[in-house]
Amino acid sequence: MAARADTPRYTLLQGDMLDVLEKITDLSIDMIFADPPYNLSNDGFTCQGGRMVSVNKGEWDRSAGPAADFEFHKTWIAACHRKLRPGGTIWISGTYHSIYQCGFALQMGGWHVLNDIAWFKPNASPNLSCRMFTASHESLIWARTSKKDKHDFNYKEMKFSAYHEGDVLKKEDKQMRSVWSIPLTKKSEKRFGKHPTQKPEALLERVVLSSTKAGDIVLDPFCGSGTTGAVAMRHGRRFIGIDMDADYLHGIAQKRIEAEIAERETQADEAEDFLSALRDEVAAARG
């Protein structure tokens, strides 16, 4: 695949992630967001919409054992490292089923860990077994290619905190902290179809806006429902998404990305129409 200057607005590639990554030019990616299998499909149960449902999401999410799971994480993380430019960063999401293995693989691979983020879910599902604490967070690790490389961090854009006082949303000019309170994925974000591990757009908004610039190339090697791609389009980034499931990739992700592009173009046209009408008014007033 061609490098930076020739990269289109977005590209979706279907197939095994490791095979597809080999087709992407080394050192050509600015940021990677990866939501790999958590390996938690263990025939257990969870709560969804107030009902008891199976935790199984598919064979792709079933553990092959700690050693094999770690080898998988180590392999795909190393493949991603080859694609990032020096100073490029990777975000990896996970739960305790996978995130510690990913963190160890990053350390072994010479990455420099910048932050671990706790994504707190204020509306998390209850624990039905009543034998342990309710799981109400996931973790994200943010790391750059090496300690010596300089990474991008949009400090000023992230330097605020928002909270509600009654019905009023207030903002404070404070450093953003590493605990993010973000509700689960909205129903409106699933209008093109559902994915069992879909992330909320608000989460990806922070990831993309904090660590990339307009025009940067963002890669998601486990594209799923295309949340990363939709957010990248919204903010003028370029996007490469990879997924082995064609139904998710083209049935959901592509539709979401195209809808986001159409929305941005409509807004741009409306803005241009407004400016054109304003210019006409000014010209008429000048006689």
What digits encode the pLDDT tens for the residues 210-229? 999 999 999 999 999 999 99
Count the domains in the chain.
1
**Do the domain assignments include residue 232?**
yes
Look at residue 282 and tell me if it is in a domain. Answer: no
Q: Is residue 284 part of a domain?
A: no
The per-residue pLDDT for 247 is 94
Q: Please give the share of the chain, as a percent, with pLDDT higher than 90.
A: 67
57 pLDDT more than 70:
no
pLDDT bin (cut points 50, 70, 90) of residue 2 is very low
What would the pLDDT profile of 8-21 be if each residue is shown by its tens digit? 699 999 999 999 99
Kindly state the average pLDDT of the residues 273-284.
70
CA-to-CA distance for 157 and 178, rounded, in angstroms?
15
Cα–Cα distance for residue pair 142/151, rounded to 1 Å:
11
> CA angle 7-11-16, nearest 5°?
120
Alpha helices in the chain (DSSP H): 17-21, 66-83, 99-108, 155-158, 201-211, 227-234, 246-248, 254-286
CA atoms within 13 A on the CB side of 72: 18
Domain-located, residue 150: yes
- 241 Cβ contact partners less than 8 Å away, ≥ 6 residues apart: 10, 11, 12, 13, 219, 220, 223, 226, 228, 229, 249, 253, 257
User: What average pLDDT score do residues 168-187 get?
Assistant: 86
CB 152 within 8 A of CB 213: yes
Q: Six-digit token pair at 65?
A: 């054992």
Domain harbouring 235, CATH code? 3.40.50.150
DSSP-assigned letters across all residues of 161-223: EEEEETTEEEEE-----SEEE-PSPPGGGGTT---TTPPPHHHHHHHHHHH--TT-EEEETT-
269: in domain? no
d(C-alpha 126, C-alpha 134), whole Å: 6
Q: Which amino acid is at 59?
A: E
Tell me which residue range forms the domain holding 214: 4-261
Is 273 inside any structural domain?
A: no
User: What is the structure's pLDDT at 63?
Assistant: 74
Distance CA 33, CA 24 (A): 16
For 68-97, write each residue's pLDDT tens digit: 999 999 999 999 999 999 999 999 999 999
- Reported residue count of the chain is 287
Beta strand 161-165 with 238-243 is unpaired
Diameter over CA atoms, the chain? 79
Given a contact cutoff of 8 angstroms between Cβ atoms, the answer to whether 218 and 59 are in contact is no
Q: Is residue 272 part of a domain?
A: no
Which band of pLDDT confidence, cut at 50, 70 and 90, is reported for residue 65? confident
- 237-272 pLDDT, tens per residue? 999 999 999 999 999 999 999 999 999 888 776 666
- Residue 99 resides in a domain: yes
Position 273 confidence tier, pLDDT thresholds 50, 70, 90: low
pLDDT value of position 198: 95
What gap in Å lies between CA 264 and CA 46, rounded to an integer? 38
